[in-house]
Structure 1
Amino acid sequence: MKASNCYKLFIIVVIFCLKDHWFICGADPTDGFTRVPLTDENLDLQKPYNIPLSQRYNYSDGIRSFWVYNKDKSFKPDSNTRPRTEVRIKGHDYSSGIWQFEGYAFVPTGTSGVTIVQIHGAAEGATTLQLRIYNGNMRYYRYNLVATDLYDKWFRVNVIHDVGKGKITVFIDGEEKFVVNDQGPGHLYYKCGVYAAPAKSSNFMESRWRDIKLFKK
Structure 2
Amino acid sequence: MSYWLLCLCFLQLICSQASAQTDPTKGFTEQPLDQSNFEIQKPYDKSVDQRYSFVDGVHKLWVYSTDKPHTPTSNTEPRTEIRIRVFGASTQASTLQVRVYNGQLMYYRSVVLDSNIYDRWFKLNVIHDVEASKVQIYVDGVLKYAASGHGGDSHYFKCGVYAQNNDSNYMESRWKNIKILQK
Q: Taking structure 2 as the reference length, what is the TM-score of the superposition? A: 0.85
Distance 1:39 1:128 in 2: 23
**1:43 counterpart (38, 47, 58):** 38
Among residues 11, 14, 22, which one is paired with 1:27 in the alignment?
A: 22
Aligned partner letter, 1:172: V
Residue 82, structure 1, aligned to residue 82, structure 2: no
Match of 1:104 in 2: none
Query: Do residues 67 (structure 1) and 34 (structure 2) align?
Result: no
Aligned to 2:120: 153
Shift of residue 41, structure 1, vs aligned partner: 3.1
1:200 aligns with 2:133: no
Q: Where does residue 133 of structure 1 map in the other structure?
A: 100
User: Which digits, 9 at most, give the CA deviation of each residue in 1:115-154, with x for residues without a partner?
Assistant: xxxx4x3222211110001111111111111111111111
Q: Report the secondary structure of 1:127's partner residue.
A: coil
Separation in 2, partners of 1:190, 1:54 = 21
Q: Indicate the SS of the match to 2:69.
A: coil
The aligned counterpart of 2:14 is none
State how many pairs are aligned: 164
- Sequence identity (%): 48
Cα pair 1:29 1:171 within 8 Å, conserved: no
User: What TM-score, normalized by structure 1, do the two folds share?
Assistant: 0.72
**CA shift for structure 1 position 45:** 0.5
Q: 1:56, 1:39 → 2: CA distance?
A: 19
Q: Mind listing any 5+ residue stretches in structure 2 that lack a counterpart?
A: 1-19
RMSD: 1.3
Is 1:58 paired with 2:53? yes
Q: 2:134 aligned with 1:167, yes or no?
A: yes
Distance 2:47 2:34 in 1: 22
Query: How many Å separate the matches in 2 of 1:192 and 1:35?
Result: 18
Determine the structure 1 residue equivalent to 2:178.
212
1:56 and 1:79 map into 2 onto residues whose CA distance is 18
Query: Retained in 1: the 8 A contact 2:21–2:142?
Result: no
Give the equivalent residue in structure 1 for 2:3: none
Higher relative contact order (CA 8 A, sep 6+): 2
Counterpart of 1:10?
Answer: none
Cα pair distance change 1:184/1:41, threshold 3 Å = closer
Question: Which has the higher Rg, Structure 1 or Structure 2?
Answer: 1
Alpha-carbon separation, structure 2, partners of 1:29 and 1:207: 25
Residue in 2 that maps onto 1:100: none
